Amino acid sequence: MAGARSASTVGDSIASENGRWTFGGSVSQNFDSHVEKSVPLYREGHDLIAKLSDFFVQDDSSCYELGCSTGELTKAVAERNQGKKARFIGIDPVEPMIAKAREKYGSMPNVEFQVGDARDYDFDPSDMIMSYYTLQFVRPKFRQDLVDKIYKSLNWGGAFLLFEKVRGPDARFQDILTALYTDYKIDRGYDSEEILGKTRSLKGVLEPFTTQANIDLMKRAGFVDIMPIMQYTCFEGFLAIK
């Protein structure tokens, strides 16, 4: 039984135990390279969201990223809007991630990074809130309350950008998605031990919903206008407007 708790490599000099993936510790030092290799169209998603911000961010806007990790997306959106007086706030509960974000981008005007849990955070009225592969790590029993809170925090006409890894709608589609994603990781240089190690570490930590379940979360919160804006197999992005 002891072997079940031993740490395994998951690639990019990161190790994690079975069912105990964490973003803390030293993960922040190699997180950017790891996530870029692990998530399809990761940078392209940042670029798309930054360009979408043209439609929502004004001089008096507050813009939040939930689970900002090392601040890359917050930085991209802030740079896109550097001529405006808007505020860009990145929130993450993991102190080493926020420390890394502040180290890299803390001196940017109108940008701030705060240690905090989005479930307990007091949002100012906002025009744009981003959740970039973050909600999937929130325990399912808390997700509806969080999306409800996001909806209430947005000004009328404000945008919620939700990017998530998703499950297939049935067993056959899930098998296809799993196989395709395994091939994707192999093509990017991960070996079988690293792929299995990452899969085992995420048990009970990463809990994806289906596409429809994510849409239902947003609809129950009050969103009516919802549109998919990006997809690569089991990775999807949505734009919802209040």
What DSSP assignment string belongs to 156-192?
A: EEEEEEEEEE-B-SSHHHHHHHHHHHHHHHHHTT--H
The encoded tokens of residue 80 equal: 């896109």
234 touches 206 (CB < 8 A): no
The encoded tokens of residue 51 equal: 């360009």
Q: Which domains does the chain have, with CATH numbers?
A: 42-167+205-241 (3.40.50.150)
pLDDT tens for the chain, 242 residues: list them.
444 455 566 655 555 556 555 565 656 677 888 899 899 999 999 999 999 999 999 999 999 999 999 999 999 999 999 999 999 999 999 999 999 999 999 999 899 999 999 999 999 999 999 999 999 999 999 999 999 999 999 999 999 999 999 999 999 999 999 999 999 999 999 888 888 888 888 878 899 999 999 999 999 999 999 999 999 999 999 999 99
CA 120 to CA 169: how far, in whole Å? 32
Cut 0.85: pTM above it: yes
